[in-house]
A = this chain, B = another copy of it.
Amino acid sequence: MTIRYPNGKKYVPAQRSARVNKKNLSFSNRGKTLEDELNETNEYYLSNNEAVIHKKPVPIQIVHVKYPARSAAVITEAYFRSPSTTDYNGVWKGKYIDFEAKETKNTTSFPLQNIHDHQVEHMKKVTEQAGIAFLLVKFTVLDRYFIIPYEYFEKKWERMIAGGRKSITLSEMEEISIEIKAGFNPRLDYLAALDSFLKPAFEETIERQENL
């Protein structure tokens, strides 16, 4: 029995160089994980002075460390902890950006069990502080990407809490989010999407900022 912990996925170390992976040489780049795509995008933003957005390291509880002579310290016992925040945050044109990125193999809906309670709580708090919080969801089989502003996502989350459905259907997704297309460089231009399409979604947030 393999225990998948804490996010239901087996840990797979990041590839040292995505460039040498044959799959990634294909035009569609379908083999790339969402994390790879976002890392590339964030590197592009950083080197073009468009934004400073980083993925947070995976939270680890370190239990034992060895300090061998003449070589680097080795962690010999540690455990994965549940994240208490989202994975990505940073600054873009003076605005605080905060999001969680999730992939699903599902083709008809996005299962909400992919998101932790405390991550939702975190996005709510960020929104209250006039930060821009959203979810970025990739339907890997469909090769489709959606950005859902937190304030829209919250309604579906509350529906689940109230006993309703435990997922967001694809057609609901099309309604409450902005679909973005993967491109070459930047790979996933999510900031452009925020800039041009999501202004109405963040109107309340912007108003809140003015009143703080």
Contact = CB atoms under 8 A, between A and B. Distances in A.
Interface of A: 1-6, 10-11, 13, 46, 49, 51-52, 54, 56-60, 62-63, 65, 67-80, 84-85, 89-96, 98, 122, 125-126, 128-131, 208-209, 212
Contacts of A65: 11
Contact of A212 (B1, B93, B126): B93
A71 B68 CA distance: 29
B94 A212 contact: yes
Contacts of A1: 69-70
A48 B71 CA distance: 45
A79 B74 contact: yes
A13 B131 contact: no
Nearest to A60: B60
A97 to B, nearest CB: 8
A129 B73 contact: no
A63 to B, nearest CB: 7
